[in-house]
Amino acid sequence: MPGIVQKQSEMASRVAALFDADSAQRRRIPRIYAKTHIERRFMAIDATDAAFDRAAPTRRRMELFMEHALPLAADVAGRALAEGGIADPAGQIGLLVLVTSTGLGAPGIDAALVKRLGLAPSVARLSVNLMGCAAAVNGLRVASDFARSNPGARALVCNVELSSVNAVFVDDINDVVTSSLFADGCSAMVVGALAPGRAPSPGNIVIRHHFTRLVDGTLDGIRLAVGEMGITCELSPDLPSYIHLGLASAVDEALAAVGLSRSDIRLWAIHPGGPRIIEASVRSLGLAPEQASHSWDALADCGNMLSASLPFVLQRMVAAEKSSEVVGNGVAFSFAPGITVEGLVFEVARSSC
């Protein structure tokens, strides 16, 4: 995680202090921040510090992204390789997928990671940009297809997000909502295909199916853009309604494709995008509140790290499932501009395989 840890209550006070004492924005900030259920967030940059230029142009913000994202991504991806048993990155990793919606540039983090991680110069590279909170699922889909098509090879997916470099803190209700939720973070995953007849290692996630659904009539739900002062995100007040109306049918169709129904699912990995996102997902799927506990915990502990968030929820599930002898069928999903539901059906391998 990035080095700056910010308690949500303290962050609210610092952001509010940037506005005039009698402004509506200053009055609403503590209230909105308190409703997020977030206890702390991690940041690469303290955007409330006087040394940070909140009017900086996009070019400068992208330079800051490269400066801070590269060491973070190298550290997290390096640990993922070690934990994934990759002793020879140059010989074993055939594809690197770099996922982000908070920084753009070419050559980018993906090119720099090749040398940092000891990957081969012939490694295939792909950047997934501006797909928002669901982009990790997009990256996993590409990585899964690569692994199936290249037996023995592995893919590395790295999701790195630094919302702090795009902070502006203007007098706008959308800005206070997004600034109360978004955080910096990084996650990485090694993806490979099982050889025929070989069982997965205990605690491994086995992807059974990927699914996507563009929800009709919801184009205003999530909007990402490159503006004059960084990458912007606009969230519609109707976003929870769009999720409530469009999610269940997408999930049911995906489960039917692998012969399952909602009653077969023990694990629900909901993107911890904010209280209204989790609550709308729970209502749409008819889940019990405790079935979203891992998502609530990730939100409280880390905030919304966009694409980096969903793997954190999955990591918590794996830790809880390692002691179980019951196969944990699961569904993981998040939301992209469109709005689009991006998800996967998975299992957590039993400890007694």
Per annotation, catalytic residue among 133, 158, 186, 302: 133
CA nearest 90: which of 129, 119, 54? 119
Helix (H), strand (E), coil (C) string for the chain = CCCEEEEHHHHHHHHHCCCCCCCHHHHHHHHHHHCCCCCEEEECCCCCCCCCCCCCCHHHHHHHHHHHHHHHHHHHHHHHHHHCCCCCHHHHEEEEEEEECCCCCCCCHHHHHHHHCCCCCCCEEEEEECCHHHHHHHHHHHHHHHHHHCCCCEEEEEEEECHHHHCCCCCCHHHHHHHHHECCEEEEEEEECCCCCCCCCCCCEEEEEEEEEECCCCCCCEEEEEECCEEEEEECCCHHHHHHHHHHHHHHHHHHHCCCCHHHCCEEEECCCCHHHHHHHHHHHCCCHHHHHHHHHHHHHHCECHHHHHHHHHHHHHHHHCCCCCCEEEEEEEEECCCEEEEEEEEECCCCC
In the annotation, is 133 catalytic?
yes
Which amino acid is located at 215 in the chain? V
Which amino acid is located at 190 in the chain? V
Q: How many Å apart are CA 186 and CA 42, to the nearest integer?
A: 10
Chain centre distance of CA 8? 19
Catalytic residues: 133
